[in-house]
Structure 1
Amino acid sequence: MEHVTADDLLDVLLAGGRRAERATHVRHLPAREGRRGAWPAWADADLVRGYRALGIEAPWQHQVQAAQAARDGRHTVLATSTGSGKSLAYWLPALTAVRERRAAGTLDPGRIETAQRQAGVLYLCPTKALAADQLAALERLLAAAQVRDVRVAQCDGDTSQDERRWIRDHADVVLTNPDFLHFSLLPQHQRWSRLLASLQYVVLDECHAFRGVFGAHVALVLRRLRRLAEAYGASPVFVLASATTADPAASAARLLGVDPDEVEAVTDDASPAGRKTVVLWQPPELPGRGPDSGAPWASLLPDEDPWATPGEPEDRPRRTATAEIADLLADLVAHGARSLAFTRSRRAAESVATTTREHVGALDPALRGAVQAYRGGYLPEERRGLERAIRDGSLRALATTNALELGVDISGLDAVLIAGWPGTRVSFWQQAGRAGRAGADGLVALVAREDPLDTYLVHHPEAVLDAPVEATTFDPGNPYVLAPHLCAAAAERPVRADELALFGPRAAAVLEELTEHGVLRRRASGWYWTHAEPASRLTDLRGAGGDPVRVVESGTGRVLGTVDAASSDATLHPGAVYVHQGATFVVDDLHAADHVALVTRREVDYGTWARWLTTTAVVDVRDERAWGPVAWHLGTVDVTSQVLGFQRKHLPDLQVLGYEDLELPPRTLRTTSVWWTVPASVLEEAGVTLEALPGALHAAEHASIGLLPLLATCDRWDLGGLSTALHPDTGEATVFVHDAHPGGAGFAERGFELGAAWLAATRDAIAACACATGCPACVQSPKCGNANHPLDKAAALRLLDAVLRHARA
């Protein structure tokens, strides 16, 4: 598509006006001129020549500012837009330092310190894919600069022992991820002493991705790294690259465990940006239970989440976001645009890719191969091939999970489609930034799912486009996260009393508890790990709750991909349908102990949806407050879930074909929850009868989970909930909303702090929905284990009104 403009792309989306009513808002963001700076005088001349050979005549001003701060020895965070060239800001000072130290050793080879201490650089990012992408870019730069004396290598769990040995002995720049640091490098620090002793720069790329429980884990890994580097005599400068976030200096400081005054934040983006058109989009109502006859290729796709169970509302449902995205993506591909479609789950990515291929294949069979899916769980070589293909244009479209949200360098894209609110404004702008990179025009469309928050946002554009982005939230003091990292630190090197400040104010109490339970031993010189097994195995940074389950084809032994342990019961149970690049497989057996699911290739015309039962038990109450007779609590709960069986549903019409029982063990999650209780007097005041009560509580629970992400930096999938007319631990009608992470992630705590504002927003979202009895846009949940039954929208409104009256009083 030559010289494509945002107006051309918008016309494709609107189908010449036939779909105009689906666009709830269109915003044109103006182009931005770039502002150049000068190459710093200290910059290595060969590297500058290399950048110029790659087309970078001069750096942008923000790149110069960040590079200078790092050069001056200050921890630095660069928080600018996608495609603004953040990598130059950290590679220029880091590689210059490597070459300077090597030159000093060459000029004065007799000095012991120059022989032993080169300038080491450690690059950390959230994913292996991003590290591989950075390695390729770094090698291109060094080749263009004709620099042969900088040794660069990627090292992670896939790296062979021979390669690791060479990297430990020779590499100047090591690219890896926090997981490798936690499981391998830090526990074996004696082997990595050369790198640790010479460590001058540590780069943290895409550091806004380190949030929630994962962020807390990474923060503690970095404290362990700082502690060991200091033991080897190094004091590295940390350079962080982030998407635009609120208060990046405070987030970076919390990640590193330093005072915010020690971090310099660079936020003024001087890179050019093309004109961008942002469209907020709501799929149409369906005329009945059948396909949307108004669309050129109608289909009803299953909802985004593998745990999803669509309800049976009396009101007309809207077309699913996945079906709508497949239509829009097909139109863009047919018109020659290069596009990404971001989806909320692996299943949705596969569904959108498969359906889009069918659509474009009907127009031109040669276009079938131009559309593929991209998601986590693919093997590394598959992902690399897809990345190359979308870069060189041999692929026109990828339907992807947020695996492509982070900084893999894919530029020159015309359009980005986003199926459902991605959870935060930071993620939204990161995904949107893939469109129109390098100063070209771009189109972004956010397509609403039937979800209270999505519906609210596409009708309130100011909440998406005008509100500031969120700060990155995580809690390194979470005892469920802190305890295993203190054990890992003690195993690496006994923890001394004067080091406790590094691990935060809760460290002393957690160490005392670990000592009481015999996990650690206290000596005069510190706390020691005395067990044979590695302490690093006590925790998993990704919070997956165990090793991922490998999906293996029975007949060939081929590994198709992986699924995290927590989701395996619902997605890889015997009889489940697993989709890989459009091909369907049926699970024969799930061997949980061996972390393997065996599957057989079969063409089927149905999907599978798990049914499960959840119970919640109160462990302790941390805080409470009263709104008259209504009580609010914050504390620890045990959430026990068990997959009981699954439905087979015909595709695409979702007609139920049958149900099958399963015998799988329960899983228990200890986490943080907020809950509120309502006595009989308030129920009577609200006019909620005993018969209507379960539906009222259930509807209020669903809607409140849907709205909390507007107030806390989280996503609906970071939360869970339960409502019951009489809970054994409270003795009253109760609604629980809990963090879906071990120990909690701070989201329930935020809900407790903002209780009245949260419930008022929930009440308003339900009242504003035009449906009569409740729909996915207000009280139905895409992840309900009870098939969205019972739900009573009217009773939920009366209940929330009564509760809020007491809050105001």
Structure 2
Amino acid sequence: LRRLRRLCAFYGCTPQFICCSATIANPKEHAQNLTGLPFDEIVEDGSSRGEKYFAFWNPPVVDEAKSSRRSSNSEAAFLLSQLIQNDIRTLAFARTRKLTELIYIYAQQQLPPSLAHLISPYRAGYLPEDRRRIEHQFFDGHLLGLVATTALELGIDIGDLEATVLTGYPGSIASTWQQAGRSGRSGGSSLSFLIAQDNPLDQYFMRHPEYFFGQNFDNALINPANPYILKPHLLCAAWEKPLDDSDKEFFSGDINAALAELEHEGRLRRHRVKSYLSPLLTYPAQNVNIRTTSRENYVVVDASQGCLLETVEASVAFFQIYPGAIYLHQGESYIITDLDLVRHVALAEPTSVGYYTQAKDITDIRVIELAKEKNHGVKIYFGDVDVTTTVVSFRKKRQFTEEVIGEEPLDLPSQSFPTKALWFDLPQSATDRIVHAGLDFHGGLHACEHAAIGILPLFALCDRNDIGGVSTPFHPDTGKAQIFIYDAYPGGIGIAEKGFEIISELWQATLKVVEECPCQDGCPSCVQSPKCGNNNQPLDKKAALILLKELMRLALFSTSV
């Protein structure tokens, strides 16, 4: 939008922008951040709508001692199959590409043969012609049900859709209503299910549905000054029209530093007072991804047929297409036999196995620069960090039961990126109590980190996968125990900074979800994480409660004096 303003100004026109959103709390601020222009906001809603029945569906507990629940994927497949058998047009949302394929397979197996062909998966990564074909089949009524990622969340009017099934909380109240709002657009009654996953945030909403229905929408967070966003757009702007000093009014951040870096990299060339695109670059816009800051993709090739299956973003390739991975494509299983790191090609072969795979990683974090700090009984910090992630192994998990049936090591290069993080000190009084009680201090830190990361999307418009964390009883850059929470995108996108601003509220909500969980020693609903590279070891729920209670006590005391 800022590049559009720039071109319009060059041709002597000043367009008026009208921006619309039904599901964010800060539309005026967000529109101004996007365009760089002042806005007036109109917030009254006079639209008509049909009745919406919204069910919060918590899978049943299968292990009382561990407080573990039946898989949300199995519940989604069950609900989808039941809705299809009752001739109800349904769209089921899944959080990831892999879960889209799994839920589709599970649901198809539960449907009679006469109905099994009436559902299909749909997600990013499919070839464009495959996606258009599935869309037309669903819109024309040839398909009765679809299992999709958020690739089908926005911008597509499905019409007479009657039900939506949300497999897990989408990460924000805005996204939840966007997905649930796909059904009932024709004005009739509609039904939506939110199926809880076994994680802190989902279980918080199951115990406190009033928070969800009584809460305003989330604030949309963007960072147009992020150099990983700014620099590619400057290249696009240079292709559209050479850059000069007058362009500072259109772009945020340190544009001079970004231009200097691009010139040093040989992607821009300075001539007199203007910067021109290098002749070695043709069309830079083709390398700008609207979903990620990653510029490169890997391709997945069916080695048995020699044909292209789909593309995978480089930022997630090591988590999805490592050698030995089971990769799902339109309901069919493939095993990755080779990953060429130079050519960015993964070879896959059809297979028939009763398990799927899940990568494990370890993460290291280094403090680069402290930007700001504050005191809430303990010191809280915010600044620049460097994160290094290494995928070290993968687990084989049996379909339906999700039982771990094996683990294989991997030898993949580490990936590093600069980003923003918050981190905080731990109360000495809590440390002393933990040691005196004979509890595991490191396990308490680790449990606090998992629970806080799981609950942060309650306050920031983000997904659980948009953030990461590290906890350690001794960090070499600070010389003491720390818990870090960082943006999982190069340069940062504002999530960690939001956490820094509302740290007391984050501690309070984290304490609440851990305290209310009925498990004894910690479970996925409170302190365990499916992404943990250390296999959720060590974890100590009792130690985490001591830390969180003492953090809150000191925070309350600091605000009262």
TM-score by length of 2: 0.93
Correspondent of 1:666 among 394, 401, 414: 414
Equivalent positions of 1:397-476 (< 5 A) are 397-476=145-224
| Structure 2 residue 50 is the aligned partner of structure 1 residue 274 | yes
2:524 corresponds to 1:773: no
- Does the alignment pair 1:714 with 2:462? yes
- Give secondary structure in 1 for the equivalent of 2:353: coil
Once the two structures are superposed, residues 276-319 of structure 1 have per-residue CA deviations (whole angstroms, 9 ceiling, x without a partner) of: 1111111100158xxxxxxxxxxxxxxxxxxxxxxxxx514101
**1:544/1:564 contact within 8 Å kept:** no
Relative to structure 1, the CA distance from residue 278 to residue 536 in structure 2 (aligned partners, 3 Å threshold; closer, same or farther) is same
How far, CA to CA, are the matches of 1:729 and 1:759 in structure 2? 24
The match for 1:525 among 266, 273, 279 is 273
Instruction: Give me the TM-score of the superposition, normalised by structure 1.
Output: 0.65
Q: Alpha-carbon deviations, 1:509-558, whole Å to 9, x = none?
A: 65567678887666663455557445937865432523222211102122
1:248 is aligned to 27
CA distance in 1, matches of 2:219, 2:379: 30
1:505, 1:572 → 2: CA distance? Answer: 36
Instruction: Give the superposition deviation at 1:496.
Output: 2.9
Q: More helix per residue: 1 or 2? A: 1
Cα distance, 1:637 vs. partner?
1.1
| Secondary structure in structure 1 of the residue aligned to 2:510 | helix
CA shift for structure 1 position 351: 1.1
* RMSD value, Cα: 2.4
Return the offset for 1:764.
Answer: 1.4
Counterpart contact for 2:221–2:495, Cα < 8 Å: no
Q: Tell whether the 8 Å contact from 1:552 to 1:596 is kept in structure 2 after alignment.
A: yes
**Partners in 1 of 2:275 and 2:76 — Cα distance?**
55
Q: 1:725/1:738 Cα in 2 relative to 1: closer, same or farther (>3 Å)?
A: same
Distance (Å, rounded) in 1 between the aligned partners of 2:230 and 2:140 = 44
Shift, 1:386, TM fit: 1.7
CA separation of 1:656 and 1:278: change in aligned 2, threshold 3 A? closer
Matches within 5 A, 1:17-36: none
Per-residue displacement from partner, 1:84-122 (whole Å, max 9, x unpaired)? xxxxxxxxxxxxxxxxxxxxxxxxxxxxxxxxxxxxxxx
Q: Does structure 1 residue 743 correspond to structure 2 residue 491?
A: yes
Return closer, same or farther for 1:764/1:687 CA change in 2, 3 Å cut-off: farther
Q: Write the letter of the residue equivalent to 1:725.
A: P
8 Å CA contact retained: 1:679, 1:732: no
> Deviation digits for residues 662-721 of structure 1, max 9, x if unmatched?
211110021101011236555114547786011101100000001111111212111000
1:518 to 1:433, Cα distance in 2 relative to 1, 3 A = closer
Between 1:633-642 and 1:798-807, the stretch displaced more is 798-807
Tell me which amino acid in the other structure corresponds to 2:75.
E
Give 1:422 deviation, angstroms. Answer: 0.7
Task: For residue 726 of structure 1, give the secondary structure of its aligned residue in structure 2.
Answer: strand
Taking the aligned partners of 1:518 and 1:328, their CA distance within structure 2 comes to: 55
Aligned mates of 1:456, 1:405 — CA distance in 2: 24
2:371 to 609, 622, 636: 622
Give, in angstroms, the shift of residue 593 of structure 1: 2.2
Match of 1:495 among 230, 240, 243: 243
The structure in which a higher percent of residues are strand is 2
For residues 333 and 505 of structure 1, do their structure 2 counterparts lie closer, same or farther at Cα, with a shift above 3 Å needed? closer
Q: Is contact 1:329-1:356 (8 Å) kept?
A: yes
Tell me how far apart the structure 1 counterparts of residues 332 and 524 of structure 2 sit (CA, whole Å).
29
Tell me the equivalent position of 1:228: 7
Q: 1:550 aligns with which of 286, 299, 307?
A: 299
1:644: how far off?
1.5
Unpaired runs of at least 5, structure 2: none
- Once the two structures are TM-superposed, the CA of residue 235 in structure 1 deviates from its matched residue by 3.3
State the distance in 2 between where 1:419 and 1:236 align: 41
Q: 1:512 to 1:324 in 2, by over 3 A?
A: same
Deviation at 1:767, TM superposition (A): 0.6
Residues 1:347 and 2:95 are matched in the alignment: no
SS at match of 1:683: helix
Amino acid at match of 1:417: V
d(CA) in 1 for partners of 2:63, 2:292: 42
Cα distance change on mapping 1:391 and 1:492 into 2, 3 Å: closer
Describe the shift of the 1:284–1:427 C-alpha distance in structure 2 as closer, same or farther (beyond 3 A).
Answer: same
Percent identity between matched residues is 41
Whole-angstrom CA distance in 2 between matches of 1:613 and 1:344: 22
Aligned length: 556
Deviations 1:758-800 (CA, angstroms, capped at 9, x unpaired): 1121111111111111111111112111111111101001012
Match runs of 1:83-102 below 5 Å = none
Secondary structure of the equivalent of 1:744? coil
Query: What letter is aligned with 1:584?
Result: S
* CA displacement at 1:641 relative to structure 2: 0.9
